[in-house]
Amino acid sequence: MVRRRIAILGGGPGGYEAALVAAQLGADVTVVDSDGLGGACVLTDCVPSKTLIETSNAMTMLNRAPGLGIATGGLATVNAARLYERITDLARAQSRDIAARLAAEDVKVIKARGRLAGPSTIKAGDEQVTADAILVATGASPRILEGAQPDGERILTWRQLYDLTELPRDLIVVGSGVTGAEFASAYLALGSRVTLVSSRDRVLPQEDEDAASLIEDVFRRRGMTVLGRSRAKAVSRDRDTVTVALDDGRTVTGSHCLLTVGMIPRTGGIALDEAGVKVDAHGFVEVDRVSRTSATGVYAAGDCTGVLMLASVAAMQGRIAMWHTLGEAVGPLRLGHVAATIFTDPEIATVGVSQRAVTAGDVSARVLKQPLATNPRAKMAGVSDGFVKLFSSPGTGVVLGGVVVAPRASELILAVSVAVEQHLTVEQLARTFAVYPSMSGSVTEAARKLMEFTGDIP
């Protein structure tokens, strides 16, 4: 039996997860990658940033310690050089683990910059890889603000942070979306003075309004300066000082500036047009719900498609592509079931239906918000900021979605995610045992209150 040949351009989550699936299904798999296995997600984005955030969470706990009866004496400080060294070491170790896993599955890896040479061939340096199916998973790069050219020293994208040897003294974060909010939260906890420049009227403008308002309130109470409705026009540097010019004529000065103003796809220079692969007006590869592009036999996954820029989504797109091309039973990507987390402190985790859709009348749902301040475990930990919000169908009581704002909300959202995926009702969620005391108890408590509110049972 002739083995199907799969060629993958890019070694990030969309690429390496697809390679593992294809290899396990008996295909002959080649990955072409120039930047390091794991891609930006592992080497410069998700893994490093969340490692930084874990350290900031430890500092937050220390700051909370006096309220728990622990005298810290205010002696805790951050060894920035060691912190950044640990971050880069951990990222490289994760990349090596991925390389070892691919090698164990007999996946060939070519370390070269690749490009398409038609719909069935990838040119990788001096080699050509011909395949029955190709997956494009080239990722995306930070968007550069016109008039704010990063220098890697004082004016930075988030991929350049880990080259620093000290914490920014006065950090100006331009952009209040997910990335900006996460880094602003982390560096504030680590001890930097932080100014967050937001072009919108609130931070996290695309997220649940209750959650975003709570996070902004937390930021301000902890000493962050949040400049709403303030669009950055330019960023300049004079030796050790950076100045951000706002479009209303004001200026903000600091020691460092972090630019978090979006992403652009890495789809230029890889000859997509020669293979008949269409991109949209912004350069993202157009794909359907099983990851097919406009070219027969060519699939795409991950940030280069612009479909929910999450590592979990990239990985699922890559797996779906391989299941589809290798003849396995496969369902289309269901974006409505994707759980996502913003790693601020506290974290914001969401899944399913949003408050915005309910408020706009796009979805009919009953809504219940349970404050975390009433949770006994939260009280024990000195936590008062947060809530659990559930959405359910008015007729059936089926859980349609939820929002969790809490420490480790990324873990707590799983219960709601399972309920959404399995079409559980609020009654079924309410009747599920939760440990007492636990933060997860707020999920079942919210379900019980929503069950009573909807009148699903007597």
For residue 80, which of 158, 163, 151 has the smallest C-alpha distance? 163
DSSP string computed for 404-435: EEETTHHHHHHHHHHHHHTT-BHHHHHTS---
Q: What is the pLDDT of residue 73?
A: 76
For residue 332, which of 313, 349, 352, 348 has the smallest C-alpha distance? 313
Measured distance CA(310)–CA(302) in Å, rounded: 8
Mean pLDDT of 82-93: 97
pLDDT in tens, 136-165: 999 999 999 999 999 999 999 999 999 999
- pLDDT band for position 453 (cuts 50, 70, 90): low
DSSP 277: -
pLDDT in tens, 38-58: 999 999 999 999 999 999 999
Structure tokens of 434?
């939760």
What's the gap between Cα 108 and its chain centre? 29
What's the gap between Cα 423 and its chain centre? 25
Mean pLDDT of 190-210: 96
Mean pLDDT of 394-412: 97
Average pLDDT score over the chain: 96
Q: Is the pLDDT of residue 456 over 60?
A: no
pTM of the model: 0.95
Measured distance CA(172)–CA(155) in Å, rounded: 10
Measured distance CA(84)–CA(221) in Å, rounded: 27
Mean pLDDT of 10-34: 98
Percent over 70 (pLDDT), the chain: 98
pLDDT in tens, 305-360: 999 999 999 999 999 999 999 999 999 999 999 999 999 999 999 999 999 999 99
User: In this structure, are residues 232 and 148 in contact, taking their beta carbons and an 8 Å threshold?
Assistant: yes
Q: Specify whether the backbone of 69 is left (phi greater than 0), alpha (psi in -120 to 50) or beta.
A: left
Length of the chain counted residue by residue: 458
C-alpha atoms less than 13 angstroms from C-alpha of 50 in its C-beta half-sphere: 15
Q: What is the pLDDT of residue 278?
A: 98
Measured distance CA(29)–CA(102) in Å, rounded: 10
H/E stretch holding 50 reads helix 46-64
Q: Is the pLDDT of residue 77 over 90?
A: no
User: In this structure, are residues 140 and 266 in contact, taking their beta carbons and an 8 Å threshold?
Assistant: yes
Q: Specify whether the backbone of 403 is left (phi greater than 0), alpha (psi in -120 to 50) or beta.
A: beta
Among 93-97, 143-147, 175-179, 223-227, the minimum mean pLDDT is found in 143-147
- pLDDT band for position 241 (cuts 50, 70, 90): very high
User: In this structure, are residues 4 and 133 in contact, taking their beta carbons and an 8 Å threshold?
Assistant: yes
Check the CA dihedral 353-356-359-360 and report its sign: negative
Q: What is the pLDDT of residue 458?
A: 32
Cβ-in-10-Å burial (0-12, 13-18, 19+) of 65 comes to: middle
For residue 18, which of 6, 5, 2 has the smallest C-alpha distance? 6
Question: What is the number of other CB atoms lying within 10 angstroms of the CB of residue 311?
Answer: 21
Mean pLDDT of 253-277: 97
Q: Is the pLDDT of residue 75 over 90?
A: no
Check the CA dihedral 297-301-306-308 and report its sign: positive
- pLDDT band for position 455 (cuts 50, 70, 90): very low
Residues facing 342 on adjacent strands = 348
Tell me the three state secondary structure of residue 314: helix
For residue 48, which of 201, 197, 163, 198 has the smallest C-alpha distance? 163
For residue 304, which of 323, 279, 322, 276 has the smallest C-alpha distance? 279
Measured distance CA(455)–CA(446) in Å, rounded: 14
For residue 185, which of 417, 337, 12, 347 has the smallest C-alpha distance? 347
pLDDT in tens, 96-132: 999 999 999 999 999 999 999 999 999 999 999 999 9
Measured distance CA(154)–CA(150) in Å, rounded: 8
Q: Name the one residue in this structure whose structure tokens are 């009573």.
A: 452
Mean pLDDT of 220-249: 97
Measured distance CA(49)–CA(181) in Å, rounded: 12
Structure tokens of 199?
């072009």
pLDDT in tens, 357-397: 999 999 999 999 999 999 999 999 999 999 999 999 999 99
Cβ-in-10-Å burial (0-12, 13-18, 19+) of 348 comes to: buried
